[in-house]
Amino acid sequence: MSESNAASPGASPTRRAILMTALALMAPLPAREKASEPATPGTLRLVIAERATSDHPTPFWIDLRALRAAGAIDRIEVFSTEEHVPSLARFELAGRAPRRLSGRVTLRSTTTLLAIAELSDGRILFDQRSVTVSG
């Protein structure tokens, strides 16, 4: 498959890099070492309940207080390892970021959520949380 066919139509090189990093972080440990973009855990903080009810909205938020000091944030995406559509939320930020971003996700199965932030200097930060879904 050619490089142009590998990504979804209209995907920018930056979006492709974020998606490839997300896939590398969800892969088993040996595959993570081959990721083209280094990702750093730490200052990004994803907050969501450890337990959720199937097909009911579950609130989450991303705490950006520590991340604001790290540099300008271009975008943040939230992915799921088990949902039919892995990309659950996308936040495009311009200028000064708020202290926190929030949203709701409807989960159907036990999963790991992964929040990935791309900074304007090209660094990629992430945080992940496991959510047990019942019902």
Tens digit of pLDDT at every position of the chain (135 positions) = 333 334 444 445 565 666 666 665 554 433 334 344 445 555 788 999 999 999 999 999 998 877 666 667 888 999 998 888 888 999 988 767 788 899 999 999 999 999 998 888 878 888 899 999 998
- Which pLDDT score, from 0 to 100, does residue 47 have? 92
Query: Cβ(115)–Cβ(77) under 8 Å?
Result: yes
What type of residue sits at position 116? Answer: I
pTM score, whole prediction: 0.67
- Which pLDDT score, from 0 to 100, does residue 74 have? 84
Query: Cβ(79)–Cβ(113) under 8 Å?
Result: yes
Of 116, 105, 102, nearest to 56 by C-alpha is 105
Name beta bridge partners: 106. Answer: 57
Residues 6+ apart with CB under 8 A from 33: none
Q: Cα–Cα distance between 78 and 116 in angstroms, integer?
A: 6
Query: Cβ(124)–Cβ(43) under 8 Å?
Result: no
- Which pLDDT score, from 0 to 100, does residue 9 have? 47
Q: Cα–Cα distance between 50 and 131 in angstroms, integer?
A: 5
